Amino acid sequence: MPIPDYQGLMLAVLRHGAAGETGVMQVEEKIADELGLSAEEREQLLPSGKQRILHNRIHWAKFYLQKAGLLEAPKRGRFVVSAVGLDLLKTNPPSVNLDTLRRYPSLLDSMRAPR
């Protein structure tokens, strides 16, 4: 099975954040198991050869979920679902992607902020 893009991982990351404070490293193996990824797929690297594809995509999913306010970062490298994220999960969405996140003003505000 091919590794989903970061948008395809957003719902899984959000659900794992709802289970309690966690980190990318902790959810990576769980998500790989849920997806039924082989050992080879789990170890696939980005073209740079410096990071696993799955790890990178989970990180980007987490990044955008945080920007939208659906996840909170209680401390560096950790995340947990926010009240807003819980509200979204209660609707039992079939998926979460950038179109979903665009409904949240905090994502739009962060994209407009000067760097």
Convert the pLDDT of each residue in 77-114 to its tens digit: 999 999 999 999 999 999 999 999 999 987 666 666 55
Q: Is residue 23 part of a domain?
A: yes
Cα(10)–Cα(96) distance, rounded to whole angstroms?
Answer: 6
**Of residues 53, 58, 52, 45, the one with CA closest to residue 12:** 58
Per-residue pLDDT averaged across 57-63, rounded?
Answer: 97
| Structural domain boundaries enclosing 89 | 6-112
**Is 94 inside any structural domain?**
yes
CATH assignment of the domain containing 57: 1.10.10
Q: How many domains does the chain have?
A: 1
Q: Within a domain: residue 91?
A: yes
In a domain, 1, yes or no: no
Interval 13-34: pLDDT, tens:
999 999 999 999 999 999 999 9
- Give this prediction's pTM: 0.91
C-alpha span between 1 and 58 (Å, rounded): 16
- The answer to whether residue 35 scores a pLDDT higher than 80 is yes
pLDDT at 22: 97
